[in-house]
Chains A and B, each alone.
Chain A
Amino acid sequence: MGIEVTVEGLTKSFGKQTVWQDVTLTLPPGEVSVMLGPSGTGKTVFLKSLIGLLKPERGRVLVDGVDMVGGSERDIYRTRKLFGLMFQDGALFGSMNLFDNIAFPLREHTRKKESEIRRVVMERMDMVGLLGSEAKLPGEISGGMRKRAGLARALVLDPQIILCDEPDSGLDPVRTSYISQLLIDLNAQIDATMLIVTHNLDIAATVPDNMGMLFRRELVAFGPREVLLTSDIPVVRQFLSGRREGPIGMAEEKDEATLAAEQLAGTATAPPPPTRLVPQLEPSPGLPPRQAVQRRRARVLGMWDQLPAAARTAAQTGLSPVQGEPA
């Protein structure tokens, strides 16, 4: 089972500019979470802070009892082996071919024989559909392939926590669906805790168990997918419906005057949240069911009284035992 990641009061700034402050959330073990947010709200910074690449000024990130912000460097290095991080553009080593890139963590951290390494690497390359490209250099393949190779490299050590930085950017819609399915299948197979940072609405609607959103230097909301998908918080509605009207502007956020003008014109209100949600993706046929589903069910029922009415209605269909069966 995956490992829980607890974030407490995290605040990060670059110089005078605060990226976000006082972010508190818990990634439930083994579940898939998505962090949404307009471009430039520090989603990638958040991801890098979780793994200790960037050091926030305040707060803690607890993984397996280790504080990734203020812990000792040795503990942090040890804990990082539990993570698999898929970088936005793959971050492959330019001087190594794909096979050596994907084999790198195995060669560094295990004493496996070369034949064993070959088997694992080929298995992972097959998983992301890269068989036959193992001798190519990262400079010779497309951006989508680099991304998938980056994912394969993140997976070779069987991580307990998988972080994906915009798995969809630079991919066509079909490949994006494949990646979504791949992530769900992965979760079913290894039951790892996953956090996906994205602004892709399809991924947001179909992949996660939980969703969060960063905007205006803070975490607007974090909770089960039903809560955000049915939320009437203006910024969440605007983002999920992809409209121009709302608090999110082109550069950063809109000023009061523009917002007031929109209000007058009557265009400020986004369409009401959907009552029926798009069903979550199921693992491909032949794979075991996701263990996270049962755990999440218990968790959501436990917080039932705090859920808004709309989220409850949406959750009722989603949580029924026949989830995923054609109605």
Chain B
Amino acid sequence: MSAPVRLRDPARRRGPAGRREIPGTGALRQTGQLMTLAATTVRDTFRRPFQVRELIEQFWFVASVTILPAALVSIPFGAVIALQVGSLTQQLGAQSFTGGASVLAVIQQASPLIVALLIAGAGGSAICADLGSRKIREELDAMEVMGVSPVQRLVVPRVLATMLVAVLLNGLVSVVGTAGGYFFNVVIQHGTPGAYLSSFSSLAQLPDLYISEIKALVFGFIAGIVAAYRGLNPRGGPKGVGDAVNQSVVITFLLLFVVNVVITAIYLQLVPQKGA
């Protein structure tokens, strides 16, 4: 039970005795601090008192800024996948599998990513700006002085909120995306409703849904942690907060796609696919 992140000390950017450092150690240090914050957040989640009120407020905030854009983005996204897959399967002569293929693409890939991008862009940026401005106004220092850990009091509820919203929103986006795909395939491309539906069960299986939710959970965690990390460590003044928000969104996007590749690869290796 030691060392909640100690990231605020500018002296730490240099080595002991102020030596110039080997290039690259800065990036390693940042990564390490990000990981420390992640570990501290997980640990403090189970430390009482749990901040229920803050969690509800943050949950409502993140949900309210992401629900509508997520739904609006997922319709054209489902449609474009349905159109593309429909066109491909037609050329291959496998129209009957259009439904299964497009639903798999929507549920496994598109939906968690859409959710995470929106949460990072809409919710994460607001979280980062909020924490960053509190930091430069010394509010977080004041909190620490009063013996209250900002990680436990502020970061934990925010990260839990982004995770929870990601999981729930992922369900919504999956449904809307699938319905959009169905509409475009059946109504626009004149596909067969029965074939579209029956190919679901011949290609898709329940673990596909599970992995989709697991991805959403992990992506929500990443979005929350990165936003909190950049927010807790702005470099000097209001401009620094602006930069931190910018960086938090970019870093989250980069991490999301890398982590997505890793999770997808592991999943495809571990869980036998139904059509195989």
Contacts and interface: CB of A to CB of B under 8 A. Distances in A.
B46 to A, nearest CB: 15
Contacts of A92: 139, 142
A232 interface: no
A55 B9 contact: yes
A15 B13 contact: yes
Interface of A: 13-16, 48, 51, 53-55, 57, 72-74, 77-78, 80-81, 83, 85, 87, 89, 91-94, 104-105, 108-109, 153, 157
B52 to A, nearest CB: 13
A74 B4 CA distance: 9
10 contacts: A13-B18, A53-B141, A54-B9, A77-B147, A78-B147, A91-B141, A93-B139, A105-B147, A105-B148, A109-B147
Contacts of B134: 93-94
Given A72-B2, A73-B2, A80-B147, A14 B10 contact: yes
B243 interface: no
Contact of A51 (B9, B139, B145): B145
A105 B146 CA distance: 6
Size band of the interface chain B makes with A: 20 to 34
A51 B2 CA distance: 17
Given A80-B146, A83-B145, 16 more contacts: A15-B11, A15-B14, A53-B144, A54-B8, A57-B11, A72-B2, A73-B1, A73-B2, A73-B4, A91-B141, A92-B139, A92-B142, A93-B139, A94-B134, A105-B146, A157-B146
Contacts of B1: 72-74
B149 interface: yes
B49 to A, nearest CB: 8
A1 to B, nearest CB: 21
B145 A85 contact: yes
Identify the 3 closest CB pairs spanning chains A and B, nearest first: A91-B142, A91-B138, A16-B18
Contact of B137 (A15, A51, A83, A91): A91
A13 B11 contact: yes
Contacts of A89: 138
A106 B259 CA distance: 42
B3 interface: yes
Interface in B1-57: 1-4, 6, 8-11, 13-14, 16, 18
Contact of B11 (A14, A74, A77, A94): A14
Contact of A94 (B3, B6, B139, B144): B139
Contacts of B13: 15
Contacts of B14: 15-16
A42 B138 CA distance: 17
Contact of A48 (B6, B11, B141, B149): B141
B147 A81 contact: yes
A142 to B, nearest CB: 17
B165 to A, nearest CB: 21
Contacts of A157: 146
Which of B10, B11, B14, B16 has most A Cβ within 10 Å? B11
A107 to B, nearest CB: 10
Nearest to A55: B9
A93 B145 CA distance: 13
Nearest to B133: A94
Which of A53, A85, A89, A109 has most B Cβ within 10 Å? A53
A224 B18 CA distance: 36
Contacts of A14: 10-11
